[in-house]
């Protein structure tokens, strides 16, 4: 728990830079907690996960309610989420993945959760999810994927993909443009 939270804190030293080895002193940790509300929400989240892992009754639910009422962040305490989670603006964000890797970035008003059935997304490492995006259902998002603002992702994305639109379509893979897919009459219901 503490190592994951330390990685969360490292993301706030310089948010645009993932610095795995940056030293985090107690004084720096306190300054970051005082300055950044989203990091305080992550502290509550990691504490709740620790309580759930150690089967301490009442506290996981209590911490989940505290995170929601204090920070407006709906995050599933006990979810498998790697260290380095960066949520820039937690108010209105819903995070309910099956699994989420390390060093993921969520900007604002994002929903990660179920679609039609009780199945949740699996998200790889270093994934960026833009403001207002929706990642829904039993899908897999590969490592290093970028999801654009307001995109609605309802199908798998490979590693390094950039997806935009409603429903999201892949426009780049590892920085290289992907030609647009032709839409056949069968796909649009004609």
Concerning whether 54 is annotated as a catalytic residue, the answer is: no
CA distance 130 to 5: 22
Q: Say which of 22, 28, 89, 108 is annotated catalytic.
A: 89
Q: List, as one string, the DSSP characters of the chain.
A: -HHHHHHHHHHHHSTTS--TT----HHHHHHHHHH-HHHHHHHHHHHHHHHHHTT-SSHHHHHHHHHHHHH-EEE-TT-EE-S--EEEE-TTEEE--SEE-SS-EEEES-EEE-SSSS---EE-TT-EE-TT-EEESS-EE-TT-EE-TT-EE-S-B-TTEEEETTTTEEEEETTEE-PPPPPPHHHHT-
Catalytic positions: 89
């Amino acid at each position: 728990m503490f190592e994951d939270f330390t990685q969360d804190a490292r993301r706030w030293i310089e948010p645009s830079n993932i610095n795995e080895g940056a030293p985090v002193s107690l004084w720096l940790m306190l300054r970051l907690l005082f300055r950044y509300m989203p990091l305080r929400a992550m502290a509550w989240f990691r504490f709740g996960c620790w309580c759930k892992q150690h089967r301490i009754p009442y506290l996981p639910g209590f911490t989940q309610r505290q995170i929601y009422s204090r920070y407006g962040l709906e995050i599933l305490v006990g979810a498998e989420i790697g260290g380095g989670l960066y949520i820039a603006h937690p108010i209105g964000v819903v995070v309910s993945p099956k699994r989420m890797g390390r060093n993921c970035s969520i900007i604002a008003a994002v929903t990660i959760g179920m679609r039609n059935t009780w199945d949740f997304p699996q998200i790889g490492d270093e994934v960026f999810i833009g403001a207002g995006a929706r990642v829904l259902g039993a899908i897999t998002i590969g490592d290093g994927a970028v999801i654009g603002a307001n995109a609605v992702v309802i199908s798998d994305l490979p590693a390094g993909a950039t997806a935009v639109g409603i429903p999201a379509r892949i426009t780049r893979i590892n920085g290289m443009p992907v030609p647009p897919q032709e839409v056949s009459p069968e796909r649009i219901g004609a």
